[in-house]
């Protein structure tokens, strides 16, 4: 695998993590500001907030899997170099 492909994969993993983190962190102020404007009950705003807070859990799981996949592909690309 070329260095360019590895760099591209690393950028994609970082981009996924950054964009999803940005979206999840944007839910909290959006729910706090727009909830009263829309006139919804406070407990519905709490439910909206929970999407931003508990959405971090799947993000963490995906990040761990991406790191594991990167480690596996790094081992696979360095193994032939060590064998020669």
**Mean pLDDT over all residues of the chain?**
80
Q: What is the pLDDT of residue 63?
A: 83
More confident residue, 72 or 79: 72
Render pLDDT for 34-45 as a digit per residue (tens, 0 to 9): 999 999 999 999
51-80 residues labelled b (16+ CB within 10 A) or e (exposed): ebeebeeeeeeebeebeeeeeeeeeeeeee
Q: What is the pLDDT of residue 33?
A: 93
pTM of the complete model beyond 0.95: no
């Amino acid at each position: 695998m070329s260095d360019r492909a590895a760099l591209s994969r690393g950028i994609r993993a970082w981009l996924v993590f950054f964009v999803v983190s940005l979206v999840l962190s944007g839910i909290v102020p959006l729910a706090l500001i727009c909830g009263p404007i829309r006139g919804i009950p406070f407990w519905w705003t709490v439910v909206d907030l929970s999407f931003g807070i508990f959405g971090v859990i799947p993000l963490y799981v995906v990040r761990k899997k991406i790191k594991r996949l990167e480690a596996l592909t790094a081992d696979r690309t360095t193994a032939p170099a060590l064998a020669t």
